[in-house]
Structure 1
Amino acid sequence: MTGLYLINPVPDSQAYFGADSFPGGAWGGVQIVADLALPTLAAMVPPDLPVRLCDEQITPVDLDAPEPVIGLTGKTPQVGRMLELAAAFRQRGKVVVIGGPYASLAPEDVRPHCDVLVRGEVEEIAERLFADLRDGTWQAEYIGTRADLAASPLPRWDLYPNHRALMGTVQTSRGCPFPCEFCDVPTYVGRKQRHKDPPQVLRELDALYAHGYRSVFIADDNFSATRARARALLEALIDWNHSRPDGPVSFTTQMSIDVARDADMLRLSARAGIQAVFVGLETPSADSLRETGKRQNLQADPMEMVGRFLDHHIMVISGLIVGFDADGPDIFDRQRAFTRHAPIPVFTLGALAAPSGSPLHKRMVESGRLLPDQPYGTGQPWSTNIIPAQMTTEALLEGVTALARDLYHPDAFADRVLALVNRLGPYQGPPPAASPAPLPPLWQPLQDEVTQVVRGVVTLGPAEKAMVSRLGRHVLTHRPDALPLLRNCLRFYAQIRHVYAKNGFLTSF
């Protein structure tokens, strides 16, 4: 073997956290969050084997690639494109290797489409896998263990098109202890969290900083799950981020709502530079939360907990799910009431879906309620692969569509942005650099495109134009320090409206 071509396929449909609303063009596509799998895997390839990366969200796949071995990875929303590429490369005589979350959770779906199937985490089997590929003695299947994260190498960001990603990525832990029925994470990486120690995390952040990133997503399934370890890492991040010569990094991560009861964790998070968190509130229905095993959401009033994040200048993004067994036809109005005055501009609304490997998937199969041939993606309002208990699938999707329309009406979105801005506490993170280095020329086009996307919101219609004017006047008058946050909210809004329009159920107001 003389080389590997590693590919992260585009999703089969647009996503809330995608960048499909960006113009792209001559500069290529855009990733909101840089893909971590490709650079990490590339770092495990022996130095005598050439390796090339393709994040298809940024650059087109080279179907005429000279490399004899093609590596594909993907999650549930990427399955269609992943298998399409596998077929195309096998027709060209390439050896196709498929690994990653979906291949690990649904190996029977993937096995017929590849020459080599890699299940599980790759760190502790990488040496044998790549040696076998190099020597032409590869096996049909390799099964990785849950790795010691100390063995995870420094990602090869030098091979990645960093100038086309808004945020860098670091993973400091794997696993989540919470047994949410609809989630496949514990099946894939376990309920017992494994961690990188702070020096290893800081080495990865040093590399991202050197490549130009000033915004980083901490891609942990639940950053706050192991509280003592999270505190130790936050202390290290505070020291690191306060000493950046060209200004601090802003962090985004995922936490469970129960962390809001820990004032010290919120204080440390804010001081470290965490400015946004994704929190899965999911539903106002206590019965649905109990049903799905999300009992941590039952310990306090969710909006009070959200307010505690905001008091520390940490914006909350939240997931909403409709279609639990306990959800009757009244759930749509209950969700409307739940979100109407919430200081949460961005909700990722979706119909309940059962991803392969999740406990919910197993239960739906056993009860005869799985729609096996139905295309779906987790966190999408236009599709599901389950038959709900108290309504038809059609009624579920119609109700979610109407809820999405109400949720992202310009007036409703503006109300939630203003609720956020008015509640947001003072910034507590690292101070800006006195004389920050100018943005590298290669990175400037992406920032210009962000501006173009944000300005494009006013072209969606008169209601959207009035929304932007209302928000701009209020923020400039009352909270000019929140202008970057407003810009980010409008970028999200542009993407969500683009996604909804592309899927044909919300085009204009």
Structure 2
Amino acid sequence: MAPSPAPKPRILLVQCGPDRRHVDRETEDFDPERGLVKRATMTPLACATLAALTPDTFTVDIWDEELHGQLRVDTPLGDYDIVGVSVMYSALTYQARFLGGFFRDRGATVVAGGPAVSAAPEDYRGFFDALFVNEAERTWPRFLADYLQGEYAPEYRQIDKPALSESPPPRWDGIAADFPRYAWGSVQTTRGCPFDCSFCDVIYLYGRKQRHKPVAQVLEEVRGHAALGAEGVFFADDEFIGDAGYAKEVLAGLVPLNRALPRPLRFFTQVTMNLSRDAQLLEGMADANFYTVVLGIESFDPAALKEAQKHQNVRADLIGDLLRIQAHGIGPRGSFIVGFDQDTPAVFDSLHANIQRSHLPWVVVAPLQAPRGTKLWTRLRAEGRLATPRKAHSRDRGAIVLNVMPLGMTRPQLLEGFRDLVERLSTWDAACERIRGFIAGIQRFPQVAEPAWPEAVTDRFLREATDAWTLTSAERAVLGDTLAEVRRTAPTMLPRAVFFLARNQNERRRHERLFTDFDAVLAAERLGDFVPDTQPVYVPATFATAMRDVFPDLYVRLSRDLPDRRDVPEASRDVLVDFVSRWGEGFQTLQPQHHEFLRELCDAAVAARGGHPGSLVALAADEEQALRTQARRTGLLEALLKDVRDELASWGR
């Protein structure tokens, strides 16, 4: 009798989420057949992609903490050989570290990755057996192969950016039964953003040059979501229209696909204000059934926008451009920031007035923060304007912890003004005024056949909302008047009106939790006992500037001499790490000795990989020019500089 095959190693992929006792991430929606329902916000795309990248020699389970709640010591679980933790943002660091220790104690090999790990891997070292920095299409399979061989690296880094054709369709079979419990499915069409906002770290993770999935794969993933019972799909792109030609191809496929479904999907994504300038894109997104788009407006003050390097929003008539988008039935989720250097306490009244004039049906406001490693962080660090209260309410409880010292007001003024502003914006009078204005301003209705909502449906919504949201009689009246006006003037827009009413309730609930400990936050701020951020700037700005001129030469030299050009990113990283570790923060400008040292480092990197340093074989002129162009346009240098920072930080320099 043949021996039984060895059991497959078991993998648990965990989407790290907040403590729902303190941070409510559920989304409230209204379904005409089921009434008011609460759902988790979005399906765990990262975990499903990793599952698709996992060979059949393993079994894979997924635990989404956004849906099921945080894993605790008493959570009933089986035994796993590998646990992978995906961490989206830094507020989840404590929970991620807990998971690392908890599963290691149970004998599992525990690894972590995701945007938060990629942004600051030093915060996770020592808590996990291996880290994944940047994208994982290549490194996850490499780790699994190493694991089966009995030896894996402590860190896996992807420096250059893989083509999205390498990213397989996510595997949703492990959570297929849970799809109706999510507000949004998730499909990624594009990675990268062509813009350079000073407070954003997206370009360091995904690069400036956009990479796209094949359109056919995108459409197939959307069909798969419809088959699994999704009601909406979030296109998880940082700038859906960054390549307008590609976006139009996707839309050309989405429109007929959605029209053929028994009940059309609603879509949601992130775009820039450039959408307002392209009539074909506007019509395509409307007819595909994009209910809403995230618009990072940030401010109506041109000086503040220039400070944030948000040049794409500096325009003659920002409010007019917002109304042009809304005229197609697309309701923006307008995102704003308060606390720029230009902002004084007057900004709160000004912003409130402009938001109301803009009729934005969904509004989110946040105080300015400087994520580590961004241009804003580097500037404020040099100015000595990064600090947090010594007694900060942090962890993942949702409390606001500022790290910026504003110029135009005190930190308590910023926090109090922020609270007052969001509370005014989310009153039912203010929200309904904007929603009525949005619906009234639609000039071209989306060409989408959504089911009609008879009066009994909106009556049910109003009845259930009154109870669930504890509306006063006056609040119930303003919601009822809003729905009556929409039914009278634009009845096909009733589902959207209710959608945005529910979004406002979600914001109100978020604010309620956010401000629960607000007095304690203010008290800590008023003490003025701040801890300055003194983390070293491992890669001096002068070095980054100098490298933009000399990097094409290094790239050509390494491409010429290495036996395998796929090794150029890793070899480049070694060269830059060795250079910065030698010359340090005192570097000012490239001198002749620096050029010679860089050439020596290139030759050492080539020799270490079996190449021939200083090859006498000249490249053809057109090939050399193509390599120089590639070095300038791929965004590789920016990725390398971030990787150098991470490497030096790991040394404790």
Q: Please give the TM-score of this superposition, normalised by the length of structure 2.
A: 0.70
**Partner residue, 2:533:** none
Deviations 1:25-84 (A, max 9, x none): xxx973222221111111111112011001112114346441121111112243232222
Matched, 1:210 2:218: no
| CA distance, structure 2, for counterparts of residue 215 and residue 8 of structure 1 | 20
The amino acid that maps onto 2:39 is V
Matched, 1:278 2:297: no
**Partner residue, 1:238:** 255
Matched, 1:178 2:195: yes
Q: 1:15 to 1:149 in 2, by over 3 A?
A: farther
Matched, 1:289 2:289: no
In terms of mean alpha carbon deviation, does 310-319 or 360-369 score higher?
Answer: 360-369
- CA shift, 1:432, in A, is 4.7
Q: Residues 327 and 442 of structure 2 are in contact (CA less than 8 Å); yes or no, is this contact kept in structure 1?
A: yes
Q: Kindly report which structure 2 residues correspond to 1:182-201, keeping only aligned pairs within 5 A, or say none.
A: 182-201=199-218
Equivalent of 2:88, from 72, 75, 95? 75
Equivalent of 1:501, from 479, 499, 512? 512
Q: 1:87 to 1:462 in 2, by over 3 A?
A: farther
- The structure that has the greater radius of gyration is 2
**Partner residue, 2:136:** 122
Unaligned runs of 5+ in 1: 435-448
Equivalent of 2:55, from 34, 46, 51? 46
| CA distance, structure 1, for counterparts of residue 508 and residue 99 of structure 2 | 29
| CA distance, structure 1, for counterparts of residue 351 and residue 395 of structure 2 | 21
- CA shift, 1:381, in A, is 8.9
Equivalent of 1:322, from 326, 338, 341? 338
- CA shift, 1:368, in A, is 2.1
Corresponding residue pairs, total: 487
Matched, 1:6 2:21: no
In terms of mean alpha carbon deviation, does 166-175 or 477-486 score higher?
Answer: 477-486
| CA distance, structure 2, for counterparts of residue 362 and residue 377 of structure 1 | 24
Matched, 1:340 2:356: yes
**Local SS of the residue matching 2:342:** coil
Deviations 1:317-353 (A, max 9, x none): 1101001111122211211221123211211110011
**Local SS of the residue matching 2:447:** coil
| CA distance, structure 2, for counterparts of residue 42 and residue 476 of structure 1 | 45
Equivalent of 1:358, from 350, 367, 374? 374
Q: 1:299 to 1:341 in 2, by over 3 A?
A: closer
- CA shift, 1:366, in A, is 2.5
**Partner residue, 1:445:** none
| CA distance, structure 2, for counterparts of residue 89 and residue 452 of structure 1 | 46
- CA shift, 1:478, in A, is 2.6
**Partner residue, 1:428:** 446
| CA distance, structure 1, for counterparts of residue 95 and residue 115 of structure 2 | 15
Identity value in percent = 31
The amino acid that maps onto 2:309 is G
Q: 1:352 to 1:9 in 2, by over 3 A?
A: same
Q: Residues 329 and 439 of structure 2 are in contact (CA less than 8 Å); yes or no, is this contact kept in structure 1?
A: no
The amino acid that maps onto 1:35 is P
Q: Residues 323 and 396 of structure 1 are in contact (CA less than 8 Å); yes or no, is this contact kept in structure 2?
A: yes
Matched, 1:489 2:500: yes
| CA distance, structure 2, for counterparts of residue 15 and residue 305 of structure 1 | 37
| CA distance, structure 2, for counterparts of residue 173 and residue 15 of structure 1 | 33
**Local SS of the residue matching 2:300:** coil
Q: Residues 458 and 468 of structure 1 are in contact (CA less than 8 Å); yes or no, is this contact kept in structure 2?
A: no
Q: Please give the TM-score of this superposition, normalised by the length of structure 1.
A: 0.88
Deviations 1:220-247 (A, max 9, x none): 1001111122122222222322333x23
- CA shift, 1:169, in A, is 0.9
The amino acid that maps onto 1:413 is A
Q: 1:452 to 1:75 in 2, by over 3 A?
A: farther
Q: 1:278 to 1:381 in 2, by over 3 A?
A: farther
The amino acid that maps onto 2:98 is E
**Partner residue, 1:466:** 477
The amino acid that maps onto 1:484 is P
In terms of mean alpha carbon deviation, does 154-163 or 451-460 score higher?
Answer: 451-460
- CA shift, 1:430, in A, is 3.7
- CA shift, 1:94, in A, is 2.4
| CA distance, structure 2, for counterparts of residue 16 and residue 88 of structure 1 | 22
| CA distance, structure 1, for counterparts of residue 513 and residue 9 of structure 2 | 41
**Partner residue, 1:152:** 167
In terms of mean alpha carbon deviation, does 96-105 or 206-215 score higher?
Answer: 206-215
**Local SS of the residue matching 1:459:** coil
In terms of mean alpha carbon deviation, does 12-21 or 40-49 score higher?
Answer: 12-21
Matched, 1:302 2:318: yes
* Greater per-residue helix proportion: 2
